[in-house]
């Protein structure tokens, strides 16, 4: 059940409603919206309770949500959630996250942070823990990588996002990063989802390689059910029968998710295509479908990149990419 509180409700009044529901063995998740707060209530909801709750002080309405995903559903927050990463408001601002696939060296990170900032990106990315298909491929600089990423971000005033692959590393990654990324391969790692759900950090949740939209939303529900409502979805392409692109960017999923959920959605045309020539057209298509922003791989010298060089843009390419998408982003 979703309880929508009246506009002028105070925090203690929301708390009183939650206490009342918790005394009935129901669990409550408060989502603070721009104009009003809603309470997602999980547990056995009877028709009587639904009727009663509408009579409680400061309650505007109580709605049953018949879908398996509840806290992420549009009914829960018709306004659309805005997720703050540093001073960037995802869901409101025009957002471009940019940086290398993997953090490699101090120089690489400083040069990249400077170039992407100058070109207009507002969040810096870089993987320190890399989930690679081969155990023999570069696995990332781990803790050292987190430090290099953060230092480069701080120097150019960019908040940073990086992937966490193991529940045991959530604490250390959260110490360095402004936003935690859950990669496609870990979208259904439920203990990892629960662990990031217990932090107060914004989470960038990539869609799994072969996940349905509902499975993706249920993964977001796992994070929100732990009390963290700062979730941003990211469509990064799914596996199809087409071998000429690395994945297939599911444009319809972007429009669909914007219809059924209040969470912001980003698109990752770099991982979707695997080809730098396709990054710009796919980015434009994603923005046209309603994406709230983009995440783009950028490297000082893509031919020398330790991972994902073929899909990475160099600085000149990224600068021209940013000016070419200007009219398309919000």
Query: Based on CB atoms, which residue is closest to ligand PEP, 74 or 185?
Result: 185
Min dist. Cβ of residue 175 to ligand PEP (A): 20
Query: Which stretches within the chain are classed as H helix?
Result: 11-22, 47-53, 106-119, 143-155, 170-176, 190-197, 213-225, 251-260, 269-273, 276-288, 315-325
Instruction: Output 5 or 96, the one with its CB closest to ligand PEP.
Output: 96
The three-state secondary structure class of 32 is strand
Binding mask 224-243 for ligand PEP (x = CB under 6 A): ------------x-------
Q: Which is nearer to ligand PEP, 75 or 250 (CB)?
A: 250
Site for Mn ion in 43-102 (CB under 5 A): 101
Say which entry of Mn ion, ligand PEP, none residue 236 contacts (CB below 5 to 8 A, set by partner kind). ligand PEP
Enumerate the β-bridge partners of residue 123: 97
Residues of this chain, 153-182, that bind ligand PEP according to CB under 6 A: 163
Comparing C-alpha atoms, which of 260, 313, 249 is closest to residue 287? 249
One symbol per residue from 43 to 72: x for binding ligand PEP (CB under 6 A), - otherwise; what is it? ------------------------------
Q: Please give the DSSP secondary-structure letter assigned to residue 34.
A: S
- Considering only CA atoms, which of 329, 301, 257, 309 is closest in space to residue 97? 329
- Contacts with ligand PEP by CB under 6 A: the residue count is 10
Q: Closest CB to Mn ion among 189 and 307?
A: 307
List the one residue from 184, 193, 220, 232 that touches ligand PEP (CB under 6 A): 184
- Of these, 258, 271, 276, 299, which contacts ligand PEP (CB under 6 A)? 271
DSSP 165-221: -SGGGHHHHHHH-SEEEEPGGGTT-HHHHHHHHTSSS-EEEEPPTT--HHHHHHHHH
Residue span 118-137 as binding mask against ligand PEP, x where in contact by CB under 6 A, dash where not: ---------x----------
Q: Is 4 left (phi over 0), alpha (psi -120 to 50) or beta?
A: beta
The one among 183, 197, 264, 300 contacting ligand PEP by CB under 6 A: 183
Nearest approach, Cβ of 44 to ligand PEP (angstroms)? Answer: 37
Residue 140 C-beta: closest distance to Mn ion, Å? 11
What SS3 state is found at 106? helix
Q: Which of 206, 246, 262, 299 binds ligand PEP (CB under 6 A)?
A: 206
Judged by CB under 5 A, the number of residues near Mn ion is 2
Minimal distance in Å, beta carbon 185 to ligand PEP?
Answer: 6
- Beta-bridged to residue 99, according to DSSP, are 297
Half-sphere exposure of 120 (CA within 13 A, CB side): 17
Q: Between β-strands 265-267 and 231-235, what pairing exists: parallel, antiparallel or unpaired?
A: parallel
- Contact between 223 and Mn ion by CB under 5 A: the answer reads no
The residue assigned the tokens 């709605």 is 63
- DSSP SS3 for 297: strand
Q: Cα Rg for the chain, rounded, in angstroms?
A: 20
Q: State which residue, 99 or 300, has the beta carbon closest to ligand PEP.
A: 99
Which residues of this protein are in contact with Mn ion, per CB under 5 A?
101, 308
Which residues of this protein are in contact with ligand PEP, per CB under 6 A?
101, 127, 163, 183-185, 206, 236, 268, 271
């Amino acid at each position: 059940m979703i309880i929508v509180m009246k506009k002028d409700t105070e925090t203690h009044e929301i708390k009183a409603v939650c206490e009342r529901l918790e005394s009935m063995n129901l669990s409550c998740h408060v989502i603070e919206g721009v104009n009003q707060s809603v309470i997602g209530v999980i547990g056995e909801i009877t028709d009587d309770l639904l009727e009663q709750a509408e009579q409680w002080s400061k309650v505007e309405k109580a709605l049953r949500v018949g879908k398996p995903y509840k806290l992420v559903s549009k009914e829960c927050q018709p306004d659309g959630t805005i997720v703050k990463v540093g001073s960037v408001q995802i869901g409101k601002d025009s957002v471009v996250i940019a940086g290398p696939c993997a953090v490699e060296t101090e120089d690489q990170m400083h040069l990249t942070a400077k170039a992407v900032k100058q070109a207009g990106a507002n969040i810096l990315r870089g993987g320190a823990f890399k989930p690679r298909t081969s155990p023999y491929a570069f696995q990332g600089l781990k803790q050292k990588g987190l430090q290099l990423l953060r230092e480069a971000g701080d120097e150019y005033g960019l908040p940073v996002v990086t992937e966490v692959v193991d529940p045991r590393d959530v604490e250390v990654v959260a110490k360095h990063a402004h936003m935690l990324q859950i990669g496609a391969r870990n979208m259904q790692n439920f203990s990892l989802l629960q662990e990031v759900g217990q932090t107060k950090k914004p989470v960038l949740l990539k869609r799994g390689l072969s996940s349905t939209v509902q499975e993706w939303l249920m993964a977001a529900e796992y994070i929100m059910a732990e009390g963290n409502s700062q979730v941003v979805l990211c469509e990064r392409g799914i596996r199809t029968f087409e071998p000429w692109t690395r994945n297939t960017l599911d444009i319809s999923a972007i429009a669909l998710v914007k219809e059924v959920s209040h969470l912001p959605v980003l698109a990752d045309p770099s991982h979707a295509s695997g080809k730098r020539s396709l990054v710009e057209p796919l980015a434009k298509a994603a923005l046209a479908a309603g994406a709230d922003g983009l995440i783009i791989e950028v490297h000082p010298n893509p031919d020398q990149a330790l991972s994902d060089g073929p899909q990475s843009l160099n600085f000149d390419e990224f600068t021209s990419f940013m000016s070419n998408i200007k009219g398309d982003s919000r």
